[in-house]
Amino acid sequence: MGAFDRYGEVIEALDDGVYALDDEGEFIFANEALAELTGYDIEELLGEHTIIIKDRETVELAESKLRELLSSSGRDDVGTTFELELRRADGRTIACEDHMTVLYGPDGEFRGTAGVIRDISERKRREELLSALQETSRSLMQAPSREDVASIVAAATERVLGLDMAVVRLYDADERVLRPAAATDAVVEALGERPVYGLNEGEAGQVFASGETASYSTSHALDDSGTTVGSGLYMPVGVHGTLSVLSTEEDAFDDIDRQVVALLATNAAAACNRAKREQEVRETRERIATILDRINGLIENTVEVLVEATTREAVEAGVCAELAATEPYTLAWVGRPAVHGDNLDVSEWAGEAGVVADGESIPVADGTPGATALAEGRSEIIDDLSASDVEWVQWVHEAGVASMMVVPLAYTDSTYGVLFVCSDRPDAFDDREQVVLEALGRAVANAINAIESGKILSADKVIELEFTVTDRDLLMSRLSASTDTTLTSAGTVTQDDGSLRVYLDAEGGDTEAVLTALQDDDAVRSVTQVAEHEGSALFEVTVGESLLATLVDHGAVPKEITGENGVARYTIELPYEGDAREVFSLVEDNYDGTDLVGYHEHERPVQTQQEFQASLSERFTDRQETALRTAYLGGFFDWPREVDGDELAQAMDISRPTYHQHLRAAQQKVYEELFE
């Protein structure tokens, strides 16, 4: 082994362990790095067998394979690399990588083995953590809200990374503060409930304001309160908040911890972007529906107008027509700001013919109806038009209009004109009418905004795929076939553990048979019958792995899912740049009886980038949201009522008073959003 002597200085300078074994398997050379790696002194290693290598069979097997290779290669030495577990002198094992070479003399005689052992335990740990984070990333990208993202991140920090003190804060743009959204139990136990921070306040506030990560390995204060910790990692979660990982001990985090926590924060930011975007779209649609529900006979037709209209003119004309046809209104028109001057140009109208005309221009100088609504975004009410000396108001009064309300058509910072609603009755606009019409004005402006400026949905192209599957591996296929029931997905919610809570509406068939089939199905984790109507029933079903989850993973947005006579029908949207063929092939390759029945490319709007007020879903507790969702889907608000509170409370496994408490609390928050 003269080569080891000749290159001794070089070998000793290596961080990796270098060794040589004779043909008896005893150490004849070992450097200091190997001694440090194994925990033995060099003197203890020399002359000893390789018993310190836990997996001796691996070494013997490698040597055997190398000898076989040598016989056909004609080489004097042959090397290979393999992983093994090295048992240290203190008894613990670490993951290593052995670059081993079997040595032979010119005469083919086996001379021994030489190798370089490298500690790869840190690399293995990093790989294991990254692998564990893949499942967390999937849950993050399915989270329906930023609050759910925060809960998943806090739980993953403790469960996946083994770091038991974590706080996730979300940025409240209205108040310009960072609010704690999720924290591990260890944080609360050690530090108490965590405070709300302003920008630049505390370590979390400074990190969010600067966008730069902060890391401390020694004791430091969290904020001006005097609360201290031994170590801390502070990561911005994009523009949505911060992730703080803490420890009471100093030097608690290594480089791998910092890298993986940073990756978790990056994934959380992406998930928050997606959740916020989808949540705003969802909130906008729900807000429109909720607002318009206040207009009893008007709501159904008005919603249809807003949903089906593809141009601004269609929105304005349709709403005016519905208003003019609804008691106590007799005339409605929309005035758009003129290009020049302080006038409103009549764009669309409906009602008493001859009162206003398309293209007519109405002056709205200070003090005239419409001026305040246009300039300040506040509604105006003229209870008695006979008292007005404005010329155009007088001729409107002469046409039979007794009172009038002027509603601004404003969406965030955009104003699209005003809506004039007229009645042949004096004082026709009481408090309820004001609220209803103001809500209608916001909904109309929202719809116009969606069409003209694309703030709700961008004009990006999407591909809509519609396909059917008869494979009984799908729940919708086998259940609709076995129960002779038509199934429709009424909504899905992704839960923290990655499972899906699906609301299934079953029409036709026997309700008890459907419930039994769901309970007996291996794919169903839990099922609850929420309500039963005449000829249909609503079930809350929790499932694990599903085609729906797979489609979402590939960037698809589910639009409609049904099952009838053993045929499951899916309608999904994919980004224009997405590979629609790949997604369909994925389904076709995994499920028999898959047929493409529709393929359309169209424009789909995206959510506004304006900052909205905190959403209803952000304010609901889980119980409140469940109570409100089950009541709505179960027909509790229909008339005559399809289901009573006892049935809904039983479905949630709580008492009726408790159920109504949750329901009233949720309704209160809806009304606050609507009226305040």
For residue 276, pLDDT beyond 60: yes
* Three-state helix/strand/coil letters over 122-174: HHHHHHHHHHHHHHHHHHHHHCCCHHHHHHHHHHHHHHCCCCCCEEEEEEECC
Length of the chain: 676
Chain Cα centroid distance, residue 156? 16
**Integer Cα distance of 513 and 150 in angstroms:** 40
Is the distance from CB of 47 to CB of 26 less than 8 angstroms? yes
Beta carbons within 10 angstroms of residue 255's beta carbon: 9
Render pLDDT for 277-333 as a digit per residue (tens, 0 to 9).
887 777 777 755 554 454 556 666 776 777 778 788 888 999 889 888 887 888 898
Residue 345's beta-bridge partner residues?
336, 361
- The conformation of residue 385, written as its DSSP 8-state character, comes to G
Q: How, if at all, do strands 486-494 and 460-469 pair?
A: unpaired
Q: Which residues contact 555 (CB under 8 A, 6 or more apart)?
A: 574, 575, 578, 583
Confirm or reject CATH 3.30.450.20 for domain 2-119, answering yes or no: yes
Confidence (pLDDT) at 534: 75
Q: Locate the domains of the chain by residue range.
A: 2-119, 124-277, 293-452, 460-604, 620-675
Query: Rounded CA gap, 393 and 388, in Å?
Result: 7
Average pLDDT over residues 243-269: 88
Is the distance from CB of 362 to CB of 335 less than 8 angstroms?
yes
What average pLDDT does the chain have? 79
Q: Which residue has the higher pLDDT, 12 or 509?
A: 509
CA–CA gap between residue 103 and residue 29 (Å, rounded)? 14
* CB neighbour class for 367 (10 Å; exposed up to 12, middle 13-18, buried from 19): exposed
CA distance 285 to 494: 19
Q: Which pLDDT value is given to residue 609?
A: 35
Side-chain-side CA neighbours of residue 554 (13 Å): 19
pLDDT in tens, 193-209: 999 999 989 999 999 99
Are 448 and 403 within 8 A, CB to CB? Answer: no
Q: Please give the residue that has the higher pLDDT: either 526 or 37.
A: 526
Would you tell me how many other CB atoms lie within 10 Å of the CB of residue 304?
A: 12
Q: Please write the tens of the pLDDT for every residue from 591-605.
A: 999 998 888 877 655
Q: In a 3-state reduction of DSSP, which class is residue 382?
A: strand
- Give start and end residues of each alpha helix (H) in 293-382: 296-308, 312-324, 371-376
Instruction: Give CA–CA dist 145/274, Å, rounded.
Output: 9
Q: Which residues touch 213 (CB under 8 Å, ≥6 apart)?
A: 207, 233, 234, 235, 236, 262
Neighbours of 90 (CB within 10 A): 7
Taking the chain, what is the end-to-end CA distance rounded to the nearest angstrom? 87
Q: Is the peptide bond before 426 cis (omega within 30 degrees of 0)?
A: no
Domain 124-277: homologous superfamily in CATH:
GAF domain (3.30.450.40)
Residue 243 parent element (H or E): strand 241-247
Look up residue 16 and give its two tokens: 């990796």
Classify domain 293-452 by CATH number.
3.30.450.40
Supply φ then ψ for residue 344, to 5 degrees.
-115, 125
Alpha-carbon distance 234 to 217, whole Å? 12
Give the strand order in the sheet containing 93-104.
27-30, 17-21, 110-119, 93-104, 77-87
- How far is the C-alpha of 335 from the C-alpha of 330, rounded, in Å? 17
Position with higher pLDDT, 496 vs 57: 496
Task: Return the exposure string of 340-363: e unless at least 16 CB atoms fall within 10 Å of the residue's CB, then b.
Answer: eebbbbbbbbbbbeebbeeebebe
Q: Is 116 left (phi over 0), alpha (psi -120 to 50) or beta?
A: beta
Query: Using one digit for the tens of pLDDT, what is the confidence trace for 460-498?
Result: 567 788 999 999 989 899 998 998 899 988 877 777 676
- Higher model confidence: residue 402 or residue 309? 402
Residue 401: is its pLDDT beyond 60? yes
pLDDT of 22-56, one tens digit each?
777 778 888 888 888 888 888 877 876 554 444 45
Is the torsion defined by CA of 48, 53, 57, 63 positive or negative?
negative
DSSP H or E segment with residue 659? helix 656-675
Window from 52-56, 174-178, 460-464, 560-564 with minimum mean pLDDT: 52-56
* 293-452 has the same fold as 2-119: yes
Structure tokens at 204: 């979390």
As a whole number of angstroms, the distance between CA 474 and CA 492 comes to 16
Dihedral sign of CA atoms 621, 627, 633, 635 in order: negative
Q: Beta partners for 598? A: 466
Q: Which pTM was predicted? A: 0.36
